[in-house]
């Protein structure tokens, strides 16, 4: 979830532990709580990092794809 203070655009990236960007997309977000669904069924099993960045929001997550 993204809690935004502005109507904005967010860049979402999924990056491998080696630093390779395997997914990048731009999403429009509204003021308040936003939920973004990322389909990652084409990714191999392993550890990944998600980076979400907009003018008012920066967040990094890590996740394990089984």
Render pLDDT for 9-36 as a digit per residue (tens, 0 to 9): 999 999 999 999 999 999 998 888 888 8
Cβ atoms 15, 60 nearer than 8 A: no
Amino acid 14: pLDDT: 96
| Chain center to CA of 16 | 13
With a CB cutoff of 8 Å and minimum separation 6, the contacts of 25 are 11, 12, 38
The per-residue pLDDT of the chain, averaged, comes to 90
Alpha helices in 1-66 (DSSP H): none
Which band of pLDDT confidence, cut at 50, 70 and 90, is reported for residue 39?
Answer: confident
Share of the chain above pLDDT 90, in %: 56
pTM: 0.82
Encoded tokens for 54: 């907009």
């Amino acid at each position: 979830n993204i809690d935004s203070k502005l109507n904005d655009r967010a860049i979402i990236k999924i990056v491998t532990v080696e630093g390779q960007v395997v997914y990048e997309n731009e999403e429009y977000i509204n003021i308040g709580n936003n939920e973004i669904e990322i389909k990652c069924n084409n990714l191999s099993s392993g550890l990944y990092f998600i980076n979400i960045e907009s003018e008012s929001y920066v967040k990094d997550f890590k996740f394990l794809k089984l």
